[in-house]
Chains A and B, each alone.
Chain A
Amino acid sequence: MGGNLTSFRKLIEQTTPFAYSVAFRMLGDDDQAKDVVQETMVTIWQKLKKIRSAGGYKTWIYRIVVNKCYDQLRKRKRNPEFSPDEKTWEIISNRISEEPSSELENSETAGIINILTQKLSPKQKAIFVLSELEQMSNDEISEITGMSKTGIKANLHYARQRISEMMEKYLS
């Protein structure tokens, strides 16, 4: 068991950064993202005995993270009224006009993603984050979310369109 735990610590070390990245980008909240990562690791520990091969384990971890993020997003009350956060739009406007643009802080990233994806469903948000920000292929996203490639393309197109429309409206 001791040996298992040492190996598991190594797995946590390797897995945590990308699991946290997805969770943070999807939830836009540091504490919730850390909670999701911890829950994911506990789930992995519980199911570790059932894994027979290492192949595809990264996709499996992504799937657990995304599902836990879905649960969190569903718990949140959906805000039907869109609130145009002028401060965040100002940050966006300044950042994209900067040459070269400096890196964003986590809080800025969270604010920007939250405002851009405010009108998207949890699934559309997941597809946007995995495809546009995590730069995954449609095959990988299909494996993680269980959606068809056509569905992924359609949702991504919708997400891009909504975000572009908002940017056009609030950045002018």
Chain B
Amino acid sequence: MMKMKDENYNRLINLLRESGVKLDSKEEIEAGVIKRISETRHSAFNIDNVVNFFFGWAYIGWVRRSLIAASVILILIFVYQQGVILRQINYLSRRTIVTEGPRSSFSSGAFKKELLIFKFTGMKLPSDNINISQKQLDQLLESVNELQDKYRDLINLIDSDPELKKYIEKKLNEKNRTKINL
């Protein structure tokens, strides 16, 4: 059954192949084509002519190759620039940006730290490293005055008690600290 089916199919296909297609009016087709071409040539504003006039240069071999090369270069530059921009964005996103507002209280930890720096740098603040506002400066002076008052009170207290003075001097010597002339 299958063989019969294939045989019929093959016979029919062979018949169609062998019969071919007879073309009896080749001249008619040729005349039709020439007529159509003449009509096209006589029409002054043919859209193809306009397109060719403006963009015909795009079919010139070296122009096409140059355009391809230029577009490849532009794409590479674009990709490179995108890479640079992305790198910059990543770098900036990793950086910590601290915006300092006025300090809310005198006793904040950071300010105490600054005062400590001030104290241990021998009252000389490295002006290019630490920037402080006017308010912070006022607070600093206030605290220095307060500290000086307390220091004077302490000296008076020690002076009034010789035993305490001796004890403090002894303790200071024991720790090999710089001798403070009380």
Chain A positions within 8 Å of B, measured between CB atoms, are 5, 8-9, 12-13, 16-17, 20-21, 24-25, 34, 37-38, 41-42, 45-46, 50, 92, 95-96, 101, 103-104, 106, 108-109, 112-113, 116, 132-133, 135, 160, 163-164, 167-168, 171
Given contacts A45-B37, A135-B17, A167-B12, 10 further A-B contacts (CB under 8 A): A5-B37, A13-B26, A20-B21, A20-B23, A38-B32, A38-B33, A46-B48, A103-B18, A108-B19, A109-B21
Given contacts A25-B21, A34-B29, contact A104 B15 (CB under 8 A): yes
B100 interfacial by beta-carbon distance below 8 Å = no
Write out the residue numbers on chain B whose beta carbons fall within 8 Å of the beta carbon of A167.
5, 8-9, 12
Interface size class of B (residues with CB under 8 A): 20 to 34
Q: A42-B36, A167-B12, A171-B8 are in contact. Are A17 and B17 (CB under 8 A)?
A: no
Please indicate the chain B residues that have their CB under 8 angstroms from the CB of A34 in the complex: 25, 28-29, 32
**Cα-based distance from A160 to B28 in the complex (angstroms):** 35
B11 sits at the interface (CB 8 A): yes
Contact A21:B26 (CB < 8 A) given known A96-B15, A167-B5: no
A26 to chain B, nearest CB (A): 11
Partner of A109, one of B16, B25, B34, B40: B16
B interface with A by C-beta (< 8 Å): 5-6, 8-9, 11-13, 15-23, 25-26, 28-30, 32-34, 36-37, 40, 48, 59
Interface of A is mostly: helix
Are A133 and B17 in contact, CB atoms less than 8 angstroms apart? Answer: yes
Please name all residues of chain B whose beta carbon is closer than 8 Å to the beta carbon of A164 when the two chains form the complex.
Answer: 5-6, 8-9
Q: Are A38 and B29 in contact, with the CB atoms below 8 A?
A: yes
Q: Mind listing 19 A-B residue pairs with CB under 8 Å?
A: A5-B37, A9-B34, A12-B29, A12-B33, A16-B23, A16-B26, A16-B30, A20-B21, A21-B21, A41-B33, A45-B37, A45-B40, A106-B22, A109-B16, A116-B12, A132-B16, A164-B8, A167-B5, A168-B8
Residues in B neighbouring A132, C-beta threshold 8 A: 13, 16-17
CB pair B12 A133 closer than 8 Å? no
Nearest CB on B from A40, distance (A): 9
Would you give the shortest CB distance from B20 to chain A, in whole angstroms? 7
Contact A112 B26 (CB under 8 A): no
